[in-house]
Structure 1
Amino acid sequence: MLRGADHRATIPFGIASFRLAGFMLWPFGRTTVVRDDAGAPSCVGNVIWLVFAGWWLALGHIVTSIPLFLSIIGIPFGWANLKMVPISLTPLGRDIVSTDQGFGAR
């Protein structure tokens, strides 16, 4: 059985995981920005995330984007996979915001 102090350290990583899941569900028309109030705890958490989970996630997004680019229908999803690489490497201290542009706008 976990006590209160034992599971509180995992909450930021859980929140980051749900942020990643929501962004992956619908990445079109949204982007990530670094929060101004992100400080040293976010930096330390990002290093821990990068070592244990981030590089695997980023590598997976890069590898799965390659076959998506081979078909015309998959090109937008390949770009969406490549948009996931930076946030999967360092998700703490970032927010997902609307770009106020329609799908496919530049």
Structure 2
Amino acid sequence: MRTIGNVIWLVFGGVFIAIEYLVSSIVMMITIIGIPFGIQTLKLAMLALWPFGSEIREVPQSVGCLSIIMNILWFFVGGIWICLSHLGFGILFAITIIGLPFAKQHFKLASLALTPFGREVVDRR
């Protein structure tokens, strides 16, 4: 079921979301200051490419204060807009019963887009 959901996700827009995240990650990594933000965007691209069967976890040994500061910067620079776009798509998919699994994945992406520092994407097996 997980594979079927991922294939349907890719065909109906997941690959475009992942490419957008990948391009923005490359653009951010051009400058030294943007490298940490580019790494977080790569995390979003990985989850956007294959969301079914993945979950987001807090990193237990996260660097407390630094991740909070970086999340605040991320929030104001672009995280809020990425989160709002995923929330909008999630609400649109949630209107129909067939779209509920895809809405759940957009809500998962929205939570990671809001505060990506101090979190990791892992496979559920």
TM-score of the superposed pair, with normalisation by structure 2: 0.69
One-letter code aligned to 1:62: L
Say which of 36, 39, 46 aligns to 2:60: 36
**Superposition map of 1:9-88 within 5 A:** 9-39=33-63, 40-88=65-113
Aligned residues: 95
| Runs of 4+ more than 3 Å apart | none
TM-score of the superposed pair, with normalisation by structure 1: 0.81
Mark the structure with the bigger radius of gyration.
Answer: 1
Residues 74-97 of structure 1: per-residue CA shift (max 9 Å, x gap)? 221111101112110011121111
Offset of 1:8 from its aligned partner? 2.2
Offset of 1:55 from its aligned partner? 1.0
One-letter code aligned to 1:78: A
Rounded to whole Å, the distance in 1 between the matches of 2:85 and 2:72 is 19
Higher helix share: 2
Gaps of 5+ in 1: 1-5, 101-106
Gaps of 5+ in 2: 1-29
RMSD over aligned Cα, in angstroms? 1.5
Offset of 1:48 from its aligned partner? 0.2
What SS does the corresponding residue of 1:95 show, helix, strand or coil? strand
- The one of the two structures with greater contact order (alpha-carbon pairs below 8 A, sep at least 6) is 1
What SS does the corresponding residue of 2:31 show, helix, strand or coil? helix
Residues 46-68 of structure 1: per-residue CA shift (max 9 Å, x gap)? 10001111111111111111221
